[in-house]
Structure 1
Amino acid sequence: MDARTAFRLLADGLSREPARDFFPWLALRLASIVEADALAIVRVIPGGRAAHTLSLCIDGAIVDNVDYVLAGTPCEQVTEHRVCLFARDVVKDFPDDIMLADLGAEAYLGVPVLTLDDKLVGLIAAIYRRPLTNGGVAQEVLSIAAARVGSELANQRAEFALASTERQLADTHHRLARTNHALTLLRLVNRVVIRSADEMALLSEVCRLAVEEGGYQLAWTGLAQGEEKRIMPLTCSGEGQEFLDECRFSWSAESPEGQAPCGRTIREQTAQLLSPLVTSPDYAPFADAAARYSLATEVALPLHLGSDRQGVLVLLMNTALEVSDDELMLLQELADNLSWGVSALRLRREQERMQQVVLDVAEAVTARSNDQFFSHLAQRLAGVMMADAALIMRVDDGVPLSASLEAGVVDGQPVENFSFEFSGMPCGENFHSAERVITQGVATDFPLIERLMGERFQAWVDRRLEDASGDAIGVIILLFRQPLMAGYDSPRHLLRIFAAGAAAELERRRSDSHIRHLAYFDPGTGLPNRVHFMERLHGAILKSRQEGHRLALMFLDLNRFKEINDSQGHDVGDQVLREVATRFAACLARGESLARLGGDEFVVMVERADEIHSAQVVGRLLNALANPVLCDGHRFNLDVSIGVAFYPEDGDGPRELLKNTDIAMYHAKECGSGYRFYAPEMGRDLSRRLILATRLKEALKNEKLELRYQPIVALGSGNLVGAEVLCRWFDNELGWISPIEFIAVAEERGMISQLGEWVMSDACRQLAQWEEMQVAVLPERLYVNLAARQFEDPLLTQQLCDIVGRAGVSPDRLGLEITEGGFMQDPEQAVRTTEQLCKRGFVLSIDDFGTGYSSLTYLKRFAAYAVKIDKSFVSDMLTDSNDYSIIETIIAMADRLGLRTVAEGVETQAQASALKSMGCNLAQGYLFSRPLAAEEFQRLWLVESNPSMNVVGDGVVASRD
């Protein structure tokens, strides 16, 4: 190849294009230009003893790169910064060069690759299978190429150094940032440690700070549990707290779970770091959960929570990274300070609780409390006291006084559980004594001991166990086969220490049992409470779902129970509830459970139930209250409303099912049927009531209600004598809403007093306006309905006086109407209220008379002006002889009591004539007029030409516009 062609190809080979790999391209070009059988571009590894090919071309093709040792090769001489040419027999000159031998090399040409500062970084070697006769052009070509290769290697090195520097800077910045976070966290934790007064609050706050200030995703503290070698999480904060619920942590060296950092930390009492978590074999039991919650790095730090309590602080991150020594050191300091804080808190509590220094030997009996506590205590007690038998007894509640075995040993072997009455035992003679010693004669004087223990003992020592209040809760008994020496006293101070430990554990267990009972049982009735029942219901639903059977839930609410509390007091009410609970429980069978939700509400769950079975249970519950409840000299006739719903059709969860039973109970109470099974439309009714309650509240607030006035006329003269004030409500979305519906909602939701005050205020305002206008005809008075809830208010009289006073009208222009049921709820209060109202000038009418259960004894004492005959009697009076007779009786009775009578719902001339002939004074109804708006009532009735009544013979005719 001529020189021009060679250098043109060289120039092409030295150019670098992004689309092709530089070194293989150059090797191919160089091998072609210098006509070499093999050509290698080599980088010399620092130290100069080995090399690595950057590109190797053999017979015109690129092959895999190789590493080789320079010693014994011609390349070794090239590393001395000089060109090496071996024109022939190169294999003979370098017999140890395997590569040359494998290639069948005859000639070798090597050129060093140097940097600008003359440092060797590599070489280019051309190998020939023939002698090289003229290597001048080849040497020039390779020298030019070597300069370009040196430049390329220098550039690569610079780029690598720059990238490495950037990575180091980023790592340094990240480490500094995390170290700064750790410093900040340490400062904040120290402040919390100093100020905290509660151990759990301290641990919780440290977890919160670790997440919010330390930048960790999840932080938790755990306590090492002894024999099970489990780690129980205590407090936690951050994202993925469910991770703790899914994992069971251990500190056992034999357990796979114990290989995680938290377990190793507790075992080795050193800080542990693991990252990444998901791929680490030590984290295999938790890998799936860690992946779900994106946990990648864990730092575990040992906590010392007291002499026998080891714990761990675990910090988890969502990125896999190395924690610097500085950060780890700060975190360890944080854990040490936290341990000190917890220990200080525990020590402070101990100092406050303890009143005397505990003897050193007490450590022998302060073992960790667990199921084996009393067994171990009895074993050690017998050994220390050199007794043949040691018994730890718990005093039982009840009469006669008795005790049950907590733990006991005879000759080191456990004793089977038994109990005994104190009568006939040494401790029964004077149990008030703190300690008794009988040195001999026990077998003879107290034979019951041999019957209980199965063998004879001659000596006895016991120590009374007391709680913090000084009450007896147990007794420690030591038995000896041989008599004791007189004045036995050697290790009795140790017995006091054992007794203190046993008493403390008995009291703790009693407290735990009591706390659990308080948490899960109703104190008034002893029944399971809402919390306990909801847990049982949840479990029953899961079981029903798995086994595919139905479950019935019944909501029970006593009717009018509030009256007992209000009239007799809560003590009597509580006694009644206990008796009711006893009766309900007695009528239930297996698979039927009872609980008290609160107040006078109970609930019954029936497993594997259908409609027939449920109806039978309901029947038993209703029948349980068939007989009166006798309490404190009183007889209470009670009944109950029961709502029934079924799983799964009426609710797929505990809350929804309970809600639907409540809805069904409400409907049962509303219709007085005793019980109702839930139906979907009941929920819709409740939803409408909720909507009505909300919109009624808004209507009252914004005065969107309206008043209507229905005239009351004198049957004798036909003149207008008054008008009943009726409330109406039109809602923009719901339209006209029946008074029956919205008044019931107002009573149910506690808005009836507010509604009544508004009606009274607006009626007084309208009356004052008519008086001011000096209309031609003014009704004697307006009649306003009072709700029973208003009538029960002892401040009602003053409130009504305030309303009429603000309006500027006289009280005698207002009639107040109340139903029989309203004033009979508390007759004595009703008598007092009516007397007060009459003294102030108000007129009282009894509405819907004949539909309630009035007592004539009370009725004659009411300061009433009139009674209103309910329209239910008037509507059928001409066709139903019973209704006709009732009306005659009411009119006659009212006449004898000096009361006026007003007939409601008069719609026909015949009804009016008949009422007049019976002596009825007044009437109202559609025969005369429908309820009218104020403007229309004024236009039609408050004028000289109002629709007066014309008496024609025995008939009554109403003239209208």
Structure 2
Amino acid sequence: MAEHNWKITGVMESDPVQLSDTINAWQQSYLNALPFPAASIVFRNKKPVVLFCNAAFSEVASARKQPNLSASEEDNTVHLHPELVAALEYMPPSLRKPYQFDWMPPGREKRCVYQIKVTAMENPIIGETCYLMLPIDCTATAELHTTLRTKILRDSLTGLPNRIGFSRLLDDVIAMDDGNSPVAVIAIDLIRFSRINESMGSLVGDELLVSVARRLTSALRPGDRLGRIGGDQFGILLTLNHGTSDVWHTARRIKALMSTPFNLANLKVKVNCAIGFSLMDDRIEVSEDLLRDAQIALKHAKESDHVEVYNVGEASALRKRFSLETDLRRAIDNGDLHLAYQPIISPYSKRVVGFEALARWDHAELGPISPAEFIPVAEESGLIIPLGRWALEKSIYTQQDWDKQAGFALPIRVAVNVSALQLMRDNLTEVINSLSRQVGLNGERLTLELTESALMRYPEQSISVINTMHELGIKISMDDFGTGYSSLSYLKTFPIDHLKIDRSFIANLAEDKTAVAITRAIISMASTLSIKTVVEGIETAEQDKIIMDLGCDYAQGFYFSRPLPADEAIAYYLAANKN
């Protein structure tokens, strides 16, 4: 809207009163001709007074007349609505640009929204500053914003607040937290939802989600709020009137409600749920902290099949773990890891028969990081696959370097660990063939170590991989035997070559007769099946003597040597095997 400046451009020879009436009539006609509400106002005694306005403005912005006035008492003066008068009190004394504010006329059947725009105009005729006041109808825009807000904050299927909307509820609670109204967030996950969705279709899955939302709503008290925070996850904002007992009572109600089967597609389907919760405390600054904590507890609940509460410090540990994952990814890409080689010894001749390749990581800022810390991170994140490939490649190239130093092909086997994830997802055959072609290495100098848990988890895949590896001349070793859940019958099923007896059996070998008996039984059984045994964790001469008496084939441990860098490992080999 262009600004209007009314100026005197000439003087007519006329009666001043008549001239004033003419100008006033012209101004009123001008406003009446406008197709939108408009008024000219002045301030007298710091109060806004309407000089001229059109009917549209009067309809929008004027105060309602008293209904009990008689015809003779009727006041035709247009008075601004008190709310507008109050809003104009905040207007700066001198306006260099239009003053704007939003206003909703009260007492109307339909909600209307106006943007009031006030522009200063000098009026030398009356010797005062006039203000052009324009109410701009923004109702349609406001309704669109409300509709979009609803779509953004509401789940279209259940009608519940979605994750964004639920987070807004939490943010409001956090902002008003005074320490006297404790709250908790409960996270709920439907255990078999994906199977139902896959087997019965997405429409039935949607029907289940709506039914679950209704049941959960019935479990709430007045003031508690329910939201859908994920595909098959719901969140409850719970006010704690009686401490954490409120959470446990609510969790029991939810479990009881969910125990009743749902009628889906003419079938009765029982759906279990996992429940985890977090409590509001001084650490919480934003809603995502509270939600994240509840979902961490929910993850534990899925594993334990019990209602779980978040333990302070877990989020920090997860952040550290994620940071470690990021650094590990970079270390693998940049070649910042290295292999250490622990000798595998014949306990009788003390000659070296091979090495186990062990990944080591010297972090630039944190220093050496234990494999017990970064290997689980690699397995959880999938980095174990590139890490495993790197270890295979590095160990094969190291053997090639050793051969060059010795001047001939050394009869050394290097054992490389293979994870369950590698066994399932990586094409080990192609990886090893490709590496062998690059360096001309015979597979007979390589041993793959697989944990018994990996072998048992994927038995058919394991047997297939083992048979293929044997065709390439590669030996297979079952690592950490005795720590998992294997059946002895699997030793006959899996065509393994070596059995590594876990160090947990060896630690108290000198004092524990039961450990001696178990170790003897394992060695005897393996010998019967023509499987060589390797005992891990030998740290004393007494343990070395015991395993020799028991008939173990090979051993490794700090008693013989710690894991060595590649150059020290070949020197150790040459010294131990010089005769």
Asked whether 1:939 is paired with 2:560, we answer no
CA distance in 2, matches of 1:627, 1:932: 61
Map of 1:787 onto structure 2: 419
Q: 331, 339, 356: which is aligned to 1:699? A: 331
Distance 1:627 1:258, change over 3 A: closer
Residue pair 2:350, 2:576 contacting (<8 A) in 1 also: no
Asked whether 1:825 is paired with 2:433, we answer no
Q: 639, 644, 647: which is aligned to 2:277? A: 644
Q: 469, 483, 493: which is aligned to 1:851? A: 483
Q: How does 1:152-231 map to 2 (within 5 A)?
A: none
Residue pair 1:708, 1:931 contacting (<8 A) in 2 also: yes
CA distance in 2, matches of 1:766, 1:816: 16
Q: Which amino acid aligns with 1:831?
A: I
Map of 2:322 onto structure 1: 690
Residue pair 1:815, 1:843 contacting (<8 A) in 2 also: yes
Q: Which amino acid aligns with 1:874?
A: I
User: Any stretches of 5+ residues in structure 1 without a counterpart?
Assistant: 1-46, 48-223, 230-250, 260-279, 301-310, 323-334, 336-341, 343-369, 371-511, 949-961
Q: 194, 199, 203: which is aligned to 1:571? A: 199
CA distance in 2, matches of 1:627, 1:901: 54
CA distance in 2, matches of 1:804, 1:588: 63
Give CA deviations for 1:605-634 in whole Å, capped at 9, x if unaligned. Answer: 3321633443565677789999999x999x
Q: Which amino acid aligns with 1:675?
A: E
Give CA deviations for 1:503-530 in whole Å, capped at 9, x if unaligned. Answer: xxxxxxxxx9xx979974485x998643
Asked whether 1:590 is paired with 2:391, we answer no
Residue pair 1:661, 1:678 contacting (<8 A) in 2 also: no
CA distance in 1, matches of 2:96, 2:85: 13
Residue pair 2:63, 2:82 contacting (<8 A) in 1 also: no
Distance 1:795 1:600, change over 3 A: farther
Give CA deviations for 1:381-427 in whole Å, capped at 9, x if unaligned. Answer: xxxxxxxxxxxxxxxxxxxxxxxxxxxxxxxxxxxxxxxxxxxxxxx
Distance 1:797 1:528, change over 3 A: farther
CA distance in 2, matches of 1:257, 1:766: 91
CA distance in 2, matches of 1:700, 1:545: 45
Give CA deviations for 1:67-111 in whole Å, capped at 9, x if unaligned. Answer: xxxxxxxxxxxxxxxxxxxxxxxxxxxxxxxxxxxxxxxxxxxxx
Q: 75, 97, 103: which is aligned to 1:296? A: 97
Q: Which amino acid aligns with 2:167?
A: M
Q: Which amino acid aligns with 1:654?
A: S
CA distance in 2, matches of 1:732, 1:593: 47
Q: 181, 185, 195: which is aligned to 1:553? A: 185
Distance 1:875 1:281, change over 3 A: same
The two structures have a TM-score, normalised by structure 2, of 0.65
Distance 1:597 1:281, change over 3 A: closer
CA distance in 2, matches of 1:546, 1:752: 47
CA distance in 2, matches of 1:689, 1:298: 53
What secondary structure, in the 3-state scheme, does the structure 2 residue paired with 1:792 have?
Answer: helix
Q: Which amino acid aligns with 1:846?
A: M
Distance 1:905 1:516, change over 3 A: same
Residue 896 of structure 1 and its aligned partner are, at CA, apart by 3.9
Distance 1:526 1:714, change over 3 A: farther
Give CA deviations for 1:672-693 in whole Å, capped at 9, x if unaligned. Answer: 99734331x3343233223322
Q: Which amino acid aligns with 2:289?
A: E
Map of 1:467 onto structure 2: none
What secondary structure, in the 3-state scheme, does the structure 1 residue paired with 2:338 have?
Answer: strand
Q: Which amino acid aligns with 2:316?
A: R
CA distance in 2, matches of 1:724, 1:628: 54
CA distance in 1, matches of 2:567, 2:543: 29
Distance 1:827 1:676, change over 3 A: farther
The two structures have a TM-score, normalised by structure 1, of 0.42
Distance 1:637 1:585, change over 3 A: closer
Residue 734 of structure 1 and its aligned partner are, at CA, apart by 0.7
Asked whether 1:719 is paired with 2:347, we answer no
Please say which structure displays the higher CA radius of gyration: 1
CA distance in 2, matches of 1:655, 1:937: 51
CA distance in 1, matches of 2:182, 2:211: 25
685-694 vs 808-817, greater mean Cα deviation = 685-694
Q: Which amino acid aligns with 2:183?
A: L
State the identity %.
31
Give CA deviations for 1:588-607 in whole Å, capped at 9, x if unaligned. Answer: 55366665533565544332
CA distance in 2, matches of 1:637, 1:852: 31
Map of 2:133 onto structure 1: none
CA distance in 2, matches of 1:874, 1:613: 50
Map of 1:654 onto structure 2: 287
856-865 vs 741-750, greater mean Cα deviation = 856-865
Q: Which amino acid aligns with 2:402?
A: W
Residue 550 of structure 1 and its aligned partner are, at CA, apart by 0.7
Q: How does 1:305-320 map to 2 (within 5 A)?
A: none
Give CA deviations for 1:880-904 in whole Å, capped at 9, x if unaligned. Answer: 3443343334334433443222111
Residue 932 of structure 1 and its aligned partner are, at CA, apart by 0.6
Residue 822 of structure 1 and its aligned partner are, at CA, apart by 2.4
What secondary structure, in the 3-state scheme, does the structure 1 residue paired with 2:354 have?
Answer: strand
Q: Which amino acid aligns with 1:851?
A: T
Residue 731 of structure 1 and its aligned partner are, at CA, apart by 1.6
Structure with more relative contact order (C-alpha pairs < 8 Å, separation 6 or more): 2
Alignment length, in residue pairs? Answer: 470
Distance 1:803 1:295, change over 3 A: farther
Q: How does 1:364-513 map to 2 (within 5 A)?
A: none
What secondary structure, in the 3-state scheme, does the structure 2 residue paired with 1:740 have?
Answer: helix
Residue 928 of structure 1 and its aligned partner are, at CA, apart by 0.9
Residue pair 1:594, 1:604 contacting (<8 A) in 2 also: yes
Q: 700, 713, 738: which is aligned to 2:370? A: 738
Distance 1:658 1:810, change over 3 A: same
CA distance in 2, matches of 1:739, 1:940: 23
CA distance in 2, matches of 1:706, 1:721: 22
Residue pair 1:663, 1:678 contacting (<8 A) in 2 also: no
Residue pair 1:256, 1:282 contacting (<8 A) in 2 also: no
Residue pair 2:259, 2:270 contacting (<8 A) in 1 also: no
Residue pair 1:587, 1:621 contacting (<8 A) in 2 also: no
Residue 767 of structure 1 and its aligned partner are, at CA, apart by 1.0
Distance 1:313 1:532, change over 3 A: closer
CA distance in 1, matches of 2:548, 2:210: 52
CA distance in 1, matches of 2:425, 2:278: 38
Map of 1:926 onto structure 2: 558
What secondary structure, in the 3-state scheme, does the structure 2 residue paired with 1:645 have?
Answer: strand
Asked whether 1:534 is paired with 2:335, we answer no
What secondary structure, in the 3-state scheme, does the structure 1 residue paired with 2:425 have?
Answer: coil
CA distance in 2, matches of 1:637, 1:721: 56
Map of 1:756 onto structure 2: 388
Q: How does 1:77-92 map to 2 (within 5 A)?
A: none
Asked whether 1:813 is paired with 2:437, we answer no
CA distance in 2, matches of 1:925, 1:813: 21
Residue 727 of structure 1 and its aligned partner are, at CA, apart by 0.8
Map of 2:311 onto structure 1: 678
CA distance in 2, matches of 1:672, 1:934: 47
CA distance in 2, matches of 1:572, 1:823: 33
Map of 1:912 onto structure 2: 544
Distance 1:758 1:911, change over 3 A: same
CA distance in 2, matches of 1:855, 1:739: 28
Map of 1:611 onto structure 2: 244
Q: Which amino acid aligns with 2:530?
A: G
Residue 666 of structure 1 and its aligned partner are, at CA, apart by 5.9
Residue 856 of structure 1 and its aligned partner are, at CA, apart by 4.6
What secondary structure, in the 3-state scheme, does the structure 2 residue paired with 1:833 have?
Answer: helix
Residue 933 of structure 1 and its aligned partner are, at CA, apart by 0.7
Q: Which amino acid aligns with 2:221?
A: R
Over the aligned positions, Cα root-mean-square deviation in angstroms equals 5.1
Q: Which amino acid aligns with 1:876?
A: N
